[in-house]
């Protein structure tokens, strides 16, 4: 395992790589959104979910997301706040925008497990993005009876504004337009996750991007990817770097920045806050 060497030397190497790479593949995990200000506990939890915390003792927003609420009205009171503050509200402290400034003129593609839509909000081209795990802004049939997703912005805004005593009005509870069963979030939790046309097109564009730059000087820029789901970004980045002597792997992570021995000579590891690292790079 290769851990961080000299911080500023690694930053200089990264700067040089961003300037000289033929293509940049950004792999982004939860740590990037945390650095951008999307915290799911502490002050933000208290501010928006104080009543739910008091009633159920939730320690963070995620745990509430899995809670079996007694009624759909209460469930959607919870979820509409969750979606609104993490998807539609402006939160980014500049982290995503700074990242965009770094790569906007380059040949880039983004692979991410984040579902908060921040890449598009910061200006990234949606044809260069692959959100593998879904999007807070989309609903699907809970069965699912068909493979389509639905934009939820209008209803979520209404739910957020009109809820009272931890309940949304019953007429706002979303039902599948085809079978009438409840709708749910388009988030990958199990095999009922709907991969719609948009998902498949993005997957195809990502494969095509990799094929087109095969064997070239590719920079795999991994930001805030932990060990929860390494099979989506981290392990493939390691493999593709190992298979291509011209490829460079970069791991920016607070506390978990390392690369395996086999690709140590092709790796840059930066143990630091992503927001600060991007500031220094800019
Ligand atoms: Zn249905």
Set out the domains of the chain in order of their start, with CATH numbers. 1-38+91-133+193-282 (3.40.50.1220), 41-90+136-187 (3.30.1600)
Distance from Cα 207 to the centre of ligand 1, integer Å = 30
Query: Which residue ranges in the chain fall short of pLDDT 50?
Result: 1, 4
Distance from Cα 250 to the centre of ligand 1, integer Å = 42
Residue 228 has a pLDDT of 81
Distance from Cα 136 to the centre of ligand 1, integer Å = 19
Residue 227 has a pLDDT of 87
Residue 1 has a pLDDT of 44
User: What are the beta bridge partners of residue 27?
Assistant: 111, 222
List Cα–Cα distances, 224 to 17, 33, 170, in angstroms: 19, 8, 39
Residues 29 and 264: their CA atoms lie apart, in Å, by 22
Residue 194 has a pLDDT of 98
Residues 86 and 65: their CA atoms lie apart, in Å, by 13
What is the DSSP track for 183-204? EEEEE-SSTT----HHHHHHHH
Contact criterion met (CB below 8 Å) for 183 and 175: yes
Distance from Cα 13 to the centre of ligand 1, integer Å = 51
Residues 273 and 57: their CA atoms lie apart, in Å, by 30
**Widest CA span in the chain:** 59
Distance from Cα 76 to the centre of ligand 1, integer Å = 18
Distance from Cα 105 to the centre of ligand 1, integer Å = 42
Residues 22-38 as b/e (b if ≥16 CB within 10 A, e otherwise) read ebbbbbbbbbbbbbbeb
Distance from Cα 146 to the centre of ligand 1, integer Å = 6
Distance from Cα 280 to the centre of ligand 1, integer Å = 49
Helix (H, G, I), strand (E, B) or coil at 38: coil
Distance from Cα 177 to the centre of ligand 1, integer Å = 7
Give the neighbor-by-neighbor strand order of the sheet with 108-112.
129-131, 108-112, 23-28, 218-223, 248-252, 267-270
Chain centroid to CA 272: 19
Distance from Cα 171 to the centre of ligand 1, integer Å = 18
Distance from Cα 150 to the centre of ligand 1, integer Å = 12
Distance from Cα 11 to the centre of ligand 1, integer Å = 50
Distance from Cα 41 to the centre of ligand 1, integer Å = 33
Distance from Cα 120 to the centre of ligand 1, integer Å = 28
């Amino acid at each position: 395992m290769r851990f961080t060497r000299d911080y500023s030397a690694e930053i200089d190497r990264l700067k040089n790589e961003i300037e000289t790479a033929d293509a940049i593949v950004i792999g982004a995990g939860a740590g990037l959104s945390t650095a951008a200000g999307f915290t799911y506990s502490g002050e933000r939890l208290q501010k928006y979910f104080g009543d739910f915390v008091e009633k159920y003792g939730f320690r963070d927003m995620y745990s509430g997301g899995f809670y079996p609420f007694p009624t759909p009205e209460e469930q959607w009171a919870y979820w509409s706040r969750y979606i609104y503050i993490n998807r539609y509200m402006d939160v980014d402290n500049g982290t995503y925008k700074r990242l965009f400034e770094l790569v906007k003129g380059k040949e880039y593609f983004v692979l991410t497990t984040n579902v908060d839509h921040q890449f598009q909000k910061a200006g990234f081209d949606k044809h260069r993005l692959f959100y593998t795990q879904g999007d807070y802004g989309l609903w699907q049939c809970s069965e699912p009876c068909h493979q389509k997703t639905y934009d939820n912005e209008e209803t979520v805004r209404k739910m957020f504004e009109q809820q009272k005593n931890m309940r949304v009005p019953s007429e706002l509870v979303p039902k599948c337009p085809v079978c009438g069963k409840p709708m749910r979030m388009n988030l990958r939790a199990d095999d009922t996750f709907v991969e719609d046309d948009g998902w498949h097109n993005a997957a195809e564009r990502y494969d095509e991007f990799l094929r087109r730059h095969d064997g070239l000087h590719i920079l795999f820029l991994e930001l805030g990817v932990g060990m929860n789901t390494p099979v989506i970004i981290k392990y493939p980045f390691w493999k593709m770097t190992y298979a291509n002597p011209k490829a460079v792997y970069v791991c920016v992570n607070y506390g978990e920045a390392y690369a395996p021995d086999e690709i140590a000579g092709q790796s840059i590891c930066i143990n630091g806050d992503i927001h600060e690292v991007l500031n220094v790079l800019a």
